Structure 1
Amino acid sequence: MVDPAPAQTKLANEQVELNIPIQPLGAAISRYGNATGRDVLYDANLASGRLSSEVRGVFAPDEALNKLLVGTGLKAELITGKTFVLVPVPASQQARQTSSPEHLRYYGLIQAGITDALCDAQGAHPGRYRFTAKLWIAPDGAVVRSRRIGSTGTPRSDHEIDAALRRVQLNKAPPPGFQQPVIILIVPQGPGVTRGCDRP
């Protein structure tokens, strides 16, 4: 368990000014604890590979923590007056969030953004290969990190795809509660699957 050392404890309803950018979740929790005096207990394995959401402004400590955890798949549960523990969001709740109309529309926007970026890249036009893309999206809609999972079998195509993923632009904030990272599967052209590029 990890227990970041808190600063002076704030009153439960006392607001605090925070300036926490998107960063590895463990580091963000540490900054939160130092600023609010709250203890946040969590298994380090839960935080590994997760990015916090941005928290900038003046908030009550519990509200700030909830904002920090948006999109991480984790939630905070109060165990004493100033101590929280992080636990995974139940799979059933995540499934309900993922299937909401607003979330489904945003997944469509991500898919279109990836397709546009691939279609603009030489040697990376979709339709001939399969891979999985993992994206981390900032509150303003900017893609702050991307990773290709799997290879097309051609190093040049892999390189072009990686570059294209870094250029994906959404220009729209994720809806509340949108789970991250986002995992998108790109499949070859075939029956019922169109390439999505008008250009050659």
Structure 2
Amino acid sequence: MPFAALAQRPAPVAVATSAAGIEFDIAAQRLGDAIAAYSKATGLDILIDGAHAQRLSAAVRGTFSAMEALEAMLAGTGLEARHASATSVVIRASRTAGGTASLPLPPDAEGMEESGFKEGEVLHQSYAALVQRALNGTLCASTQTRPGSYRLAMQLHVDTRGVVDRLRLLSTTGVSDRDAAIQIRLRGLSVGSPPPPSLPQPMVVLLLPEGPGAWSDCAQAGADANGRMP
């Protein structure tokens, strides 16, 4: 299953390639096209809602850090960028004045604070692997939610019983019915054990389509992991 950046701390987007400046020459245009040019120049993997991609970007010309260029490109769009991993960035509606979320949030998700944990914390990484296996089992068990053909970034919180009690999509798969099905399957999912008390939450999960750097093990998950394959 193409998971990446599980439980990385989402932070204000930072230079992902080098502290040195990068030469940009990106005209004002449809944001999705501008992001494609930006991604090619920086090597960053950018996730953006299809609706947001239709907005008009600001021009970016000159030598900037990756952070400066992306901030300039998003100026006036009502969007902000947050890291999902060292090389993956989620673009979403800004939480500052003027920003409106493109996806309605469930009442229990509105108060969720962004968090995550540092790489190298063995206990936390081990639990992240457990969460990943649980997600793999339930998403692979349905042809509608089976990963491999879509991207999706989300935050999830696991309670003291080891159950996903809060879930929030940071982007969309591009299919509203699939987004809804994923939320239904994951909310209430049992991970199998409670999280370490020191685990900062919510965790961030990035699902990637099949391709370089992605991996898939739906075959191993089995059709009966969390219900029979429809």
The structure, 1 or 2, with the larger RCO (C-alpha pairs under 8 Å, 6+ apart) is 2
**Which structure: larger Rg?**
1
Bigger helix share: 1
